[in-house]
Amino acid sequence: MKRQILSFIIVAFTALSAVQAQDPVFSQFYSTPLLLNPAFAGTTFAPRVSASYRNEWPTVADIGVAYSTYAVSYEQFVPEVNSGFGLMILTDNAGDGLLKMNNILASYAYRIDVNDEFHLKLGIEAGFRQYKLDWDKLVFFDQIDRIEGPVNPTNEIRPDALTNTIFDAGAGLLAFSNQFYGGIALHHLTSPDEGFTDVNAGLVEGLPLQLSFHGGAQFIVKEGNNRQPASFVSPNILFLKQGDQGQVNVGAYYSMGLVFAGGWYRHAFGNPDAAIAMVGFSYDVFKIGYSYDFTLSSLAPTGGSHEISIVLNFENSERLRNKRFANRYNDCFKIFR
């Protein structure tokens, strides 16, 4: 009975969250920069492909409340038009399929060279989101029997449509030099309505605007060459606010050539959230990272979060390595490469 009640509470929370959904956020934000800010589009001259997977609350998955997020992206800078282009596909599965969100976004960023050492990038994004609700997995209060659990039929009215597709858009600004970067991004500028009914038409504000500030620095520990990548440390901070929810991430990423590691502290508005530990390996065009979120709040029994990222950066190939080194990037985006 306790497991049924716990399942009801978590599934009900998931359903209520759909009224004012919050965006998924990866702990390894550097692997999905297009999710952070469209101005990051084109941090590499050759194609860059990345894939990320996040598994949240794994210890309660056996009662049907798993949370998982997948993202795949492609980006590239085109020098002839001084612009970066990107495409990202993201899927968020909440409540073991209760609510699914599929998102496809195209990004464009134009670089402005203020001088040889300071640059700006203006980015925009546009695309579509599709929400799918599995009505049969919802549990309502009138279904709960005090002894047997959720066994009664519900009097709630089933929506005519359980799929909703909306247009979405955002914009961002990024400033950077060879040692630091800082940016601001606004997502969901149109505040689209992601609901499934018209009951509250005119009363619902729509998907809340997401505001993010992000910044970091890059300090070279050991210079690299055309055969050996540089070792560096990159302290960084990320601030996100969406509706009444938000978080602050503070930490650092350290690359030692083939091996890299990092640690961050995430604080949600009103309470500590998680300590994040990350380790990874890179060789040639391939880069893989694993991180685990140690939950610090009262949700610790849910098992934290596992995350895996894979990046293929083709300008690290042997064919392009000499050209890349000769160009000597005058920026601080090694963490994103």
**DSSP strand pairing (48-56 vs 67-78):** antiparallel
Class (C level, CATH) for 2-19+30-336: mainly beta
Q: How confident is the model at residue 23 (pLDDT cuts 50, 70, 90)?
A: confident
* Higher local confidence (pLDDT), 143 or 5: 143
Q: Output the 3-class SS for 40-92.
A: HCCCCCCCEEEEEEEEECHHHHHHCCCEEEEEEEEEEEEHHHCEEEEEEEEEE
Degrees to nearest 5, angle at CA 218 with 257 and 90: 80
Nearest to 305 by CA among 293, 296, 295: 293
pLDDT at 61: 59
Q: What is the DSSP letter of 324?
A: H
- Lowest mean pLDDT across 62-76, 79-93, 118-132, 149-163: 149-163
3-class SS of residue 258: coil
pLDDT of residue 63: 53
Residue 225: phi and psi, rounded to 5, are -145, -170
Residues 269-326: tens digit of each pLDDT: 888 889 999 999 999 899 999 999 998 887 666 778 999 999 999 987 777 666 655 5
Structure confidence at residue 18 as a pLDDT band (50, 70, 90): very low
Residue 45's CB: how many other CB atoms inside 10 A? 18
Residue of higher predicted confidence among 100 and 317? 100
Select, from the ranges 23-37, 94-108, 195-209, the one with the highest average predicted confidence (pLDDT): 23-37
Does residue 1 surpass a pLDDT of 70? no
> Which has more confidence, 213 or 325?
213
- Record the pTM: 0.85
pLDDT over 90, % of the chain: 52
- What are the extents of the domains in the chain? 2-19+30-336
pLDDT of residue 300: 64
pLDDT at res. 251: 97
Give the range among 59-73, 137-151, 218-232 with minimum mean pLDDT.
Answer: 137-151
Residue 259: pLDDT band (50, 70, 90) is very high
Q: Over the chain, what is the mean pLDDT?
A: 84
49-90 pLDDT tens trace = 999 999 987 776 555 557 899 999 999 999 999 999 999 999
Strand 286-295, strand 305-313: pairing: antiparallel
**In angstroms, how far is the first alpha carbon of the chain from the final one?**
49
Q: Average pLDDT in the 180-192 region?
A: 94
Question: Region 186-203: what's the mean pLDDT?
Answer: 74
Q: To which residue do tokens 């695309």 refer?
A: 127
